[in-house]
Amino acid sequence: MIRAKTGSATVEAALIYPLVILLAAGLIRQALVLYEEVQSDCEIHREALISTLEPAGIDVCLLLRGQWLCP
């Protein structure tokens, strides 16, 4: 009877751990995709700010923040 419980836990672990790893890998992949989207959006916004006709409208903080997101 003790052996059956131990075997059951082993089978459970063998089924659960790969699912947890796949879930973590999926979350990491999604985070990387979102980060790439944020970088491209940042580049678009930075170019729009720089090409504006009103230099007084450019906020230095926004440009500095853009430097952190857009390498």
Which residues are within 8 A (CB) of 5 and not within 5 positions of it... i.e. 6 or more apart? none
CB 70 within 8 A of CB 45: no
Length of the chain: 71
pLDDT digits (tens, 9 = 90+) for 26-70: 999 999 999 999 888 888 877 877 776 666 666 666 666 655 555
CA–CA separation, 35 and 32 (whole Å): 5
Three-class SS of residue 55? helix
Q: How far is CA 17 from the centre of its chain?
A: 22
Model-level pTM?
0.57
